[in-house]
Structure 1
Amino acid sequence: MAPNIEDDDTFGFSSGDEAELLDLATNFEAKGDKKRKHSSDDDDVPPAKRTALDSKSLAFATTTLTRNFGMQAFRLKQEQVISRLLAGKSAAVVFPTGGGKSLCYQIPSLVFSDVDTLTNIRGPGESGITLCVSPLIALMKDQVDALVRRGIEGVAVMDSTKTREEYMLTASKLRNGDLKLLYCAPERLNNEGFVEQMKYVRGGVRLLAVDEAHCVSEWGHAFRPDYLKVARFAQEIKAERVVCLTATATPRVASDICKAFDIDEKSGLFRTSTYRPNLQLLAESGKAKEDLYPRLCKFLKENPGPSIVYVTLQKQTEALASMLNGKGFKAKSFHAGMDTSLKTLIQEDFMRQENLIIVATIAFGMGIDKATIRNVVHYNIPSSLESYSQEIGRAGRDGKLSKCMFYVCGEDLHLREMFARGDLPSRESIRGVLENIFDSDTMRLPVGGEIQRSQIAQGKEFDIRPTTLSNIYAQLELTHHLIRATTPVYTKYTFKDGGTYNAKLKSDKSAEARAISSYAKKASKIYTIDVDAASSRLGIPRADIIRKLNNLNESGALELKPSGVLNVFKVAKALPEASKEIDKIATSIYDVMVKREQEALDRSEEMLALITAKKCFTRSLAQHFGDDLPDGKTECGHCTWCMTHVAVVQQTAPPVKFNYPAFKAILDKVPARDDPRMLARLAFGITSPRITGMKLGRDPIIGSMEDHQFMDLLNAFTKVCSKENQKKQ
């Protein structure tokens, strides 16, 4: 299952900004920044002097910890990590949720200039930056706001919500050496101009911090294709050192991270115990969710205090919060589909109040640093042990007893399978999208040529979800090395007259202004301009016209609204010409996705095994992460198993008789027989771009066979499709 990333930075720049970025990069290079010195310049420092230097560097770090963060001493293995980074080496950090991972890169970013003054290797403004790659815009903003509140300057975030003016101010600070710490999303690494800018940023990228680093690993629970590009990016920009941070890495995933970034696993991997003695892991089973309502109310009444109740679906958050309010609790729902301002208010209420229950999807919790959370309840089965560990880790950070209840029933199995089965497209769909990418026009392109495709249109045409389609492109780039993603572009520019539009254009004698005046067509109150046509016919660079539109927008002369994103890729090597070659690539990609689907199902089984096995929950969870209980203990003494020594029994619904009337109704309603998986999804209740396009959202056939086994449905529809296709032949 794809990770729930609700606000990534997929686009980020207007399509005119890349030229601006490339100009900035050229200016940096021209100033001689390419010849800057790196930490490696003092690698030959005598050992005695090196030891003294490291000691003074750590003293700077400790002073910064107290002065800026109000802490008297480092926790866990923060000191060892920071010492290693300040000595010029890379590290991988696996600390539990709330373990203080952020300080491991924030402190060095603030200390580099002090160390540079001590060594006299660099001059003023030449201390470079720390670049943090993080998956959530909201979390990055929280981090920056928290640092600013502490009076820390030189911190910024580059994301798609920034105005052009804000972006240019950040770029100016980079150019002048006034920035110490910059946050960005992994998708921004696709932006060619941004990559060039980071290559020549003044003083260099001293430290590249990779947050949620488990996304790098294909063995991880939240694998994210864009994260695979971070290691390549680190090499391209010549980052001096790297720190990878995560709360959820098994030994295999941690090893994968170290290999990706060339980190010495023996000396550079820092783990701390996952065991939290104040967390009580509890579980109960029921036949249906309705049976569990009274138990949930009883639990929350007996265990008052700030609580989070996690559910899987957005509509469940509202229904369950309403039920709890009706029972006298103070509860609010929270999910990714809510307005940003409302989500912010709910988060602030939760931080401020001590009796509020938040019923939420996994969208809630990232960046919530509330020490007094007393209960974390999973009302549906989490997607993995990693997710479960991360979510319960938000409880009891004050060290006091906190309870983590997991309610499980047969309905959960359907939900988990629904999520796991939702992403895999048919082999024919993958083959179709590859033929669309590598069409006759593409085949004529030289290496370095540009391919433009609308992934939205491809998703609808070939019935592939957006995250899955991105995964296909990532495999073409990272496994098959055929293409390389670069900056997306907008295809449509519309605008309203801001009041001074005509006067501004009349007084502006530039070629770009004349192009806008000539090619902007008005219909009612909306102007539309074909930027590509204006560029090609008048011989004016596209970026210049877009820059002029942006300037007019910023001055208030017009209200600009770009839309219609085209994803852009460059040809990396000779493309597959023969049908057999495309077949081979399609099969390779399909096989990888089949494997990932099974891994998602296996993770759900691991989650169930945690509470149904005759073992200590706490120890089993620790062992999953390569850890164990302290002092050789085999039981924690306070989980459901340890307190009862009675296994939780997973209650499942009895086998159902195949529902032929529902099966026939689906076949009657949907005449297409080209994709049995699409029909099986529809019967099981899984939506897809094609199903959405059929406008069947309210039709009773959707999910009419959700109580069946998915593979039984797929086999049944495959037989029908094969038989009817044979008749046509």
Structure 2
Amino acid sequence: MPPPPNDEFGLDSDDDADLLALADEIDDADLVAFADQVDAHGTKRKSAEADGPPAKRVALDLPCAEIALTRIFGFKTFQLKQKQVISRILGGESATVVFPTGGGKSLCYQIPALVFSDVDAGSRGKGENGITLVVSPLIALMKDQVDALVRRGVKAATMDSSKSRDEYLHTCEMLRNGELKILYCAPERLNNEGFVEQMKYVRGGIRLLAVDEAHCISEWGHSFRPDYLKIARFAHEIRAERVVCLTATATPRVASDICRAFNINETEGLFRTSTYRSNLHLLAESGKTKKELYPSLIKFLKDNRGATIVYVTLQKQTEELATELRKGGFNARSFHAGMDTATKTRLQDDFMRADDLIIVATIAFGMGIDKASIRNVVHFNIPSSLESYSQEIGRAGRDGIQSKCMFYVCGEDLHLREMFARGDLPSRESLRSLLQDIFHSTNVSLPVGGEIRTSHYEQEREFDIRSTTLKNIYAQLELTHNLIRATTPVYTKYTYKASSGYDSALASDKSAATAAIKKYGEKAKTWYSIDIDSLTISGLPRADIIRKLNELDESGVIELKPAGVYNVYKITQSLPRTGPAIESYVDQIYEVMEKREQEALNRTEQMLQLITDKRCFSRALAQHFGDDLPGGKTECGHCTWCMTKTSIVQQVPPPVTFNFPAFKAILDHVPNRDDARFLARIAFGITSPKATKMKLSKHPIFGSMADHTFMVSTTPIFSTSPD
């Protein structure tokens, strides 16, 4: 499968896989091999279904957790509500944890993982301690946590597409031997049937399932991810003994969603601590343009020395602003998702060591940066939401020393605000064409239980729908309309290279799957290829063959390379067959998508209201998360409002005359005019799969009407289409 197209425009958004190094899609180079399904005595473990409900857990002693806290992590005492959370988990119950950024959420599952593995080992037998499984959407963050744990002597690993073959095999070996204590994976991996089966048969079971960034499960959250909705189902399938859901950015509504999804008692199992931190001073200033604000930024940085992160929206802005700051005498560097991994790693390492380095970055920077002495966080463009803003300023002043959080706003932010919100909603015609493709006559003729195979990558480009949006559409068909269910993506091609022990290994294995592999594996010069679908037709289950190939791969007998991913969906009820029936689904799904777009616009409006209202910034932010200032205070005393009693006025750019020459140039260059929203995106400078395919992002027409209002000034563009 070819890689997804890069965002040539350079807009790093919450949903960009490029931006946050989002963890692997399912097209990584290996379909996860099965763990060895035997216990220490050589007895095959019973299936999850045969086991019945989980046995009642015996509560473990909290002093053991305190010993682990001191000896392994070097802390003298727990902070916030860590102790209460860990006590509940060790008592066999599940919990939802809403702690601010830097509040020590990871210890809430790392400490129990050590207690499970080390303290109650005697009652379970060697290698039967089970593991803690952590679901996280960020490869970089998983890697940082694993590296830190390994340095402390804790057996931890990740399963993601960045791992080498040797690293992957070593992880499988630790799972088989019962040595691993903590395993990290991405939510997308939970669609993989092989991985689900592997987790069912982990030696000792899944003692704790930790769901990081748990706000992604809520459709009301600021970064909803449909794969998160399936985690609760996964928890039941693998019979996880306990679940802990963790987030720094959950409003009361989102926290309730999380608890409801995992059947967590909200009264007893929800642990929330104050988002307010008295050492953070929330400041704001407005101007007509960003360039007009350069002197203010330079003065602010001269008056407030120290390690600083300056957040901007576009990749090119990181370089431009870092150059301006270097001209002003600052030690400034740029950082964005488009940089190669080695450069980004070097910049992060430099920032950790330096006391005066200023990193001008997109929101690609900061996840996993555990630097306590960040003195300033500056937002030079509007954040996409109060949740994002809270998370980003939370990286400042973790050492408790006074730190400044400055937000610069101007009229240009109105354009960027729409770019945040307008990029994901496709046109109604794009959605209609996609559903017609999904409900093609070939698919609707299949019986309930039949399988639909499709390439998301090809659909993104053909129908001009972003990857995350396409997944949301499929999630609605699955979770709202119950038409399909996602299953393990399949590879259309399996090739492998045999080791020196290949012939003897196959000769000694008398299984039907091995016999089929031996008979039908066709060798070229070095690599074998095997047609799995043909073997399936012959009566041998596809899963048996793939399982055996993975076992041979895991044991080093072969080196397996699957390729060509198709997403697979099992039909759960009869699919719509007529135009009116399909149109009904178009209406329902598009209504939800329009609502989400409006919610995205509302979130940026809330961000502006934070600084333009006549009230304390700190209190307004705390109340958004269902919190308040301590001690009944109504003002913090150190934000811009409290110090000046003057609200910030966002300066709106003057209205522009409709640019007819630019409008005509767009129509002349893009002959296909049946998608009005696509034309509007080109005019406004919003990238999309089709724009990338047509290489429009570097053309003069791209963004040539960016000073217009998307839904008002571009009305003539929309009038070229029935939409």
TM-score for the superposition, normalised by structure 1: 0.89
- Quote the residue 1:31 is aligned against: 45
Opposite residue 405 of structure 1, the aligned amino acid is M
Q: Which moved more, 1:98-107 or 1:531-540?
A: 531-540
Q: Is the 8 A contact 1:531 1:542 kept in 2?
A: no
Give the Cα separation in 2 of the matches to 1:448 and 1:692: 36
Q: Which has the higher contact order (CA 8 A, sep 6+)?
A: 2
- Quote the residue 1:77 is aligned against: 81
Helix, strand or coil: the match of 1:711? coil
Deviation string 1:592-638 (CA, Å, 9 cap, x unpaired) is 11001001111111001111111111111111111111111111111
- Quote the residue 1:263 is aligned against: 264
State how 1:210-249 maps to structure 2 within 5 Å: 210-249=211-250
Quick check: 1:375 aligned with 2:376? Answer: yes
CA deviation after TM superposition for structure 1 residue 402, in Å: 0.5
Q: Which moved more, 1:570-579 or 1:360-369?
A: 570-579
Give the Cα separation in 1 of the matches to 2:114 and 2:175: 15
Number of corresponding residues: 699
Alpha-carbon RMSD across the aligned residues, in angstroms, is: 3.2
Q: Which moved more, 1:140-149 or 1:537-546?
A: 537-546
Opposite residue 11 of structure 1, the aligned amino acid is E
Give the counterpart of 2:34 among 11, 18, 21: 21
Opposite residue 571 of structure 1, the aligned amino acid is I
Helix, strand or coil: the match of 2:711? helix
Opposite residue 586 of structure 2, the aligned amino acid is A
Quick check: 1:613 aligned with 2:613? Answer: yes
- Quote the residue 1:49 is aligned against: none
Q: Is the 8 A contact 2:65 2:111 kept in 1?
A: yes
Give the Cα separation in 2 of the matches to 1:37 and 1:537: 34
- Quote the residue 2:9 is aligned against: none
Q: Is the 8 A contact 1:287 1:652 kept in 2?
A: yes
- Quote the residue 1:569 is aligned against: 569
Q: Is the 8 A contact 2:191 2:486 kept in 1?
A: yes
- Quote the residue 1:46 is aligned against: none
Opposite residue 124 of structure 1, the aligned amino acid is K
Divergent runs of 4+, >4 A: 12-16, 22-29, 33-40, 492-495, 500-518, 526-558, 560-563
Helix, strand or coil: the match of 1:565? strand
Q: Which moved more, 1:165-174 or 1:184-193?
A: 165-174
Give the Cα separation in 2 of the matches to 1:156 and 1:690: 38
- Quote the residue 1:703 is aligned against: 703
Q: Which moved more, 1:502-511 or 1:135-144?
A: 502-511
- Quote the residue 2:356 is aligned against: 355
Q: Is the 8 A contact 1:15 1:487 kept in 2?
A: no
Q: 1:674 to 1:528 in 2, by over 3 A?
A: farther
CA deviation after TM superposition for structure 1 residue 158, in Å: 1.2
- Quote the residue 1:61 is aligned against: 65
Give the Cα separation in 1 of the matches to 2:695 and 2:327: 35
Give the Cα separation in 1 of the matches to 2:119 and 2:36: 31
Give the Cα separation in 1 of the matches to 2:121 and 2:685: 63
CA deviation after TM superposition for structure 1 residue 327, in Å: 2.0
Give the Cα separation in 2 of the matches to 1:577 and 1:15: 37
Q: Is the 8 A contact 2:31 2:550 kept in 1?
A: no
Gaps of 5+ in 1: 44-52
State how 1:601-680 maps to structure 2 within 5 Å: 601-680=601-680
Give the Cα separation in 2 of the matches to 1:175 and 1:549: 14
Q: 1:490 to 1:325 in 2, by over 3 A?
A: farther
CA deviation after TM superposition for structure 1 residue 38, in Å: 7.8
- Quote the residue 2:6 is aligned against: none
Helix, strand or coil: the match of 2:337? coil
Give the Cα separation in 2 of the matches to 1:492 and 1:327: 56
State how 1:224-373 maps to structure 2 within 5 Å: 224-373=225-374
Q: Which moved more, 1:565-574 or 1:402-411?
A: 565-574
Q: Is the 8 A contact 1:675 1:721 kept in 2?
A: yes
Helix, strand or coil: the match of 2:491? strand
Identity %: 64
Opposite residue 62 of structure 1, the aligned amino acid is E
Q: Is the 8 A contact 2:456 2:566 kept in 1?
A: yes
Give the Cα separation in 2 of the matches to 1:432 and 1:505: 50
Gaps of 5+ in 2: 1-12, 508-514
Q: 1:40 to 1:530 in 2, by over 3 A?
A: closer
Q: Is the 8 A contact 1:2 1:224 kept in 2?
A: no
Give the Cα separation in 1 of the matches to 2:358 and 2:248: 24
Opposite residue 600 of structure 1, the aligned amino acid is A
Q: Is the 8 A contact 1:91 1:242 kept in 2?
A: yes
Give the Cα separation in 1 of the matches to 2:38 and 2:664: 62
- Quote the residue 1:3 is aligned against: 15
CA deviation after TM superposition for structure 1 residue 326, in Å: 2.2
Opposite residue 3 of structure 1, the aligned amino acid is D
- Quote the residue 2:435 is aligned against: 434
Give the Cα separation in 2 of the matches to 1:326 and 1:535: 66
Give the Cα separation in 2 of the matches to 1:268 and 1:582: 42
- Quote the residue 2:511 is aligned against: none
Helix, strand or coil: the match of 2:15? coil
CA deviation after TM superposition for structure 1 residue 160, in Å: 1.5
- Quote the residue 2:481 is aligned against: 480
Q: Is the 8 A contact 2:34 2:550 kept in 1?
A: no
Q: Is the 8 A contact 1:383 1:603 kept in 2?
A: yes
Quick check: 1:124 aligned with 2:126? Answer: yes
Q: 1:242 to 1:622 in 2, by over 3 A?
A: same
Give the Cα separation in 1 of the matches to 2:183 and 2:333: 34
Q: 1:264 to 1:538 in 2, by over 3 A?
A: closer
Q: 1:551 to 1:707 in 2, by over 3 A?
A: same
CA deviation after TM superposition for structure 1 residue 429, in Å: 1.3
CA deviation after TM superposition for structure 1 residue 504, in Å: 8.8
Give the Cα separation in 1 of the matches to 2:184 and 2:379: 32
State how 1:502-581 maps to structure 2 within 5 Å: 512=517, 515=520, 517=522, 520=524, 531=531, 563-581=563-581
Q: Is the 8 A contact 1:189 1:230 kept in 2?
A: yes
- Quote the residue 1:88 is aligned against: 92
CA deviation after TM superposition for structure 1 residue 511, in Å: 6.5
Give the Cα separation in 2 of the matches to 1:641 and 1:463: 44
CA deviation after TM superposition for structure 1 residue 713, in Å: 4.4
Q: Which moved more, 1:300-309 or 1:33-42?
A: 33-42
- Quote the residue 1:681 is aligned against: 681
Deviation string 1:192-226 (CA, Å, 9 cap, x unpaired) is 01112222322221111111111111111111111
Q: Is the 8 A contact 2:490 2:565 kept in 1?
A: yes
Helix, strand or coil: the match of 2:285? strand
CA deviation after TM superposition for structure 1 residue 530, in Å: 7.7
Deviation string 1:53-82 (CA, Å, 9 cap, x unpaired) is 66xx10111111111111111101000000
Give the Cα separation in 1 of the matches to 2:542 and 2:332: 52
Q: Is the 8 A contact 2:35 2:172 kept in 1?
A: no
- Quote the residue 1:41 is aligned against: 56
CA deviation after TM superposition for structure 1 residue 171, in Å: 2.9
Opposite residue 709 of structure 1, the aligned amino acid is T
- Quote the residue 2:3 is aligned against: none
- Quote the residue 1:187 is aligned against: 188
- Quote the residue 2:138 is aligned against: 136
Opposite residue 17 of structure 1, the aligned amino acid is L
Q: 1:700 to 1:117 in 2, by over 3 A?
A: closer
TM-score for the superposition, normalised by structure 2: 0.89
Opposite residue 626 of structure 1, the aligned amino acid is G
Give the Cα separation in 2 of the matches to 1:370 and 1:14: 32
Q: Is the 8 A contact 1:25 1:199 kept in 2?
A: no
- Quote the residue 1:392 is aligned against: 393
Give the Cα separation in 2 of the matches to 1:562 and 1:40: 39
Give the counterpart of 1:109 among 110, 113, 131: 113
Q: 1:61 to 1:556 in 2, by over 3 A?
A: closer
Helix, strand or coil: the match of 1:206? strand
Opposite residue 443 of structure 2, the aligned amino acid is T
Give the Cα separation in 2 of the matches to 1:715 and 1:4: 28
- Quote the residue 1:199 is aligned against: 200
Opposite residue 363 of structure 1, the aligned amino acid is A
Q: Is the 8 A contact 2:121 2:129 kept in 1?
A: no
Give the Cα separation in 1 of the matches to 2:36 and 2:64: 36
Deviation string 1:417-464 (CA, Å, 9 cap, x unpaired) is 012101101122112111212222222323332221111111111111
- Quote the residue 1:48 is aligned against: none
Opposite residue 481 of structure 2, the aligned amino acid is H
CA deviation after TM superposition for structure 1 residue 490, in Å: 3.4
CA deviation after TM superposition for structure 1 residue 172, in Å: 3.5
CA deviation after TM superposition for structure 1 residue 540, in Å: 8.3
